[in-house]
Amino acid sequence: MDSPAFRLSHPVAILRSAGRYFWVLLIPILRGIPAALRGGGLLAWFRAVWTDFIIIGLLLLAAILRWSVRRYRLTERGIEIREGLFFRRRAFYPYRRMATLAVERPARYDLVGAAIVRGDTLAGGRKNFDWTLVLPKDEAAELIRRRTLALGVSPEKPDGQNAYRPGYLQLAALAFLLSNTMAAVLFSATFVSRLGDLIGRELEEQLVGRLTEWVTHLIRGIPPAAALLAVILLASNTLAFFSTLIRYRGFAAERDGRQLSVRGGILTRRSYRIDIREVNALEIRQSLLTRAAKLSTVFVSSAGFGKLQRDMTVLIPAAPPDELGRVMAVLAPEFLPTERQIRPTGIQRYLFPPFMILLALLALSTLSYRLFPDWFSLILWVGGMGAVPALWFLLLSIADFRSAGVARTEGAYTIRYGRGFHLKTVTIPMDRLTSVTLRQNILQRPDDLCDLLFEVRGEGWRRHCVKNLRRAEAAALLDSDAPIAPGGRDGSR
């Protein structure tokens, strides 16, 4: 039965709302310190900051007021939310239209029996969830139960019965991938540290004899500052690595009918229940390092999944080919990739950008040496280190050409292409596509080549492009009602 009346959310929502103004509490402390130090004691401190306490009280009162006018009730068909003091607003969100129902349980919320519950649909914005409530645990469980029933899934089935759980090494590989990759940070730290040494040495040799003592000390301080920056880079990336590892500790994914469930975390436990019919695309991603290690990471594009920076974003953290195909067949059989039916031709289109970057670096280094011959060591270091990511990009472009292509089945497209420093395999259901564009520029006309652009509805990853396909093959693929040549469905590239 429907809830008889609208209810207030958990009172901890007041503190959550007021928490964004927590920094204001520092103002009275800092402002009152001088008065207390001058010997006035606690009374002098209070006289100096009493107006600040009034402002803090008003902010807390505003948070209480917002909490008191925002109410909800659960019905058999959805959740209804009413809010507003002077301008009332009522919104109804059907369970069947929720793409993702996310539940977040920080450890401090567990102590008071509360949970943060969010819901999102394709109709909402790209940055925020359609609605967010702080609910008592029993109400959050009831909401999950009703939404699960609406998807035609039995809520009595215990979680974890057929769950996929990756190993520790797979989670470490995911943390490595998501924390900007340790290799890139080690490269940056080495570059910055050595650059500081070279700049300091060159400036000292060129200018110290002609500058004041203050500037001399400044120059000699450059290498330690650069070393400190390198340490900060390494420390921040290490922190990101371990925070990702903590966020995904205990990761599990499970499929039950239309519902795809993902959960994990230690300090903050998160769970996501995704309606598989609302998934816009599924992406298998590899870097050159993970490709060499034969590991792939699978991401899901669905409204509300991975929307916030602290959210979980993956369905399969890191898996070898045989495990990838087996797990995907259980979790998302609708999105199994198909072998390429058409592939690009003419590797020069893929190699042109990295070669141009390398030539530009060479030209810039040569010009810099001619203008500043005394700075040879610094120019050689900067140019050589700049060539490393360019060569990496060159290797990725070669791998992109060898793996890129498009396939079509009765219900979906499979697109393989490279973007940034990753190789992607994206499976898009036909009903999620907003447009497919065949594009041909003037340089492609002599060879009758083209690019295929796929526009996908939903949040993020909206455009995918496969370059340098034969136009006749691409047109035949788009115009056919059936696949050109049925490919394998084993998850291979």
Q: Is residue 444 a part of any domain in this protein?
A: no
- What is the count of structural domains for the chain? 3
* pLDDT tens figures, 41-54: 666 666 666 777 77
pLDDT at 56 over 80: no
Q: Is residue 30 a part of any domain in this protein?
A: yes
Residue with token string 């490919």: 487
Strands 100-106 and 114-120: antiparallel
Last residue of some domain: 401, 423, 444?
A: 401
- Gyration radius (Cα) of the chain, Å: 28
Last residue of some domain: 68, 87, 102?
A: 68
Q: 241 and 136 in contact (C-beta within 8 Å)?
A: no
Last residue of some domain: 205, 229, 248?
A: 248
Instruction: Name the strand (E) or helix (H) holding 7.
Output: strand 7-8
* pLDDT tens figures, 9-33: 999 988 887 766 666 666 666 666 6
> What percentage of the chain carries pLDDT values higher than 70?
75
Q: 90 and 80 in contact (C-beta within 8 Å)?
A: yes
Whole-number pLDDT of residue 390? 86
Q: Is residue 212 a part of any domain in this protein?
A: yes
| Residue 221 or residue 58, greater confidence | 58
Q: 387 and 191 in contact (C-beta within 8 Å)?
A: no
Secondary structure percentages of the chain, helix, strand, coil, to 5: 50, 25, 25
Whole-number pLDDT of residue 243? 80
β-bridge mates for residue 314, sequence order = 299
11 lies in which domain range?
1-68
- Please enumerate in sequence order all residues whose Cβ is within 8 A of that of 448, keeping only pairs 6 or more positions apart, or say none: 470, 471, 472
* pLDDT tens figures, 166-209: 888 888 878 777 665 444 444 444 444 444 444 444 444 444 44
Q: Is residue 359 a part of any domain in this protein?
A: yes
Q: 97 and 109 in contact (C-beta within 8 Å)?
A: no
β-bridge mates for residue 259, sequence order = 256, 275
Q: Is residue 9 a part of any domain in this protein?
A: yes
pLDDT at 486 over 60: no
Whole-number pLDDT of residue 211? 42
* pLDDT tens figures, 240-291: 778 888 888 889 999 998 999 999 988 899 999 999 999 999 999 998 888 8
Q: Is residue 297 a part of any domain in this protein?
A: no
Per-residue confidence band for 374, with pLDDT thresholds at 50, 70 and 90: confident
Q: What 3 state SS string does 318-356 have?
A: EECHHHHHHHHHHHCHHHCCCCCCECCCCCHHHHHHHHH
CA dihedral 419, 424, 427, 431 (to 10 degrees): -10
Residue with token string 């020069």: 348
Average pLDDT over residues 124-135: 86
**In angstroms, rounded to a whole number, what is the distance separating the alpha carbons of residues 159 and 142?**
15
Q: CA distances (Å), 69 to each of 2, 196, 406, in order? A: 21, 57, 52
Q: Is residue 241 a part of any domain in this protein?
A: yes
> What percentage of the chain carries pLDDT values higher than 90?
38
Count of beta carbons in the 10 Å neighbourhood of residue 346:
15
Q: 474 and 406 in contact (C-beta within 8 Å)?
A: yes
Q: Is residue 73 a part of any domain in this protein?
A: no
Whole-number pLDDT of residue 213? 47
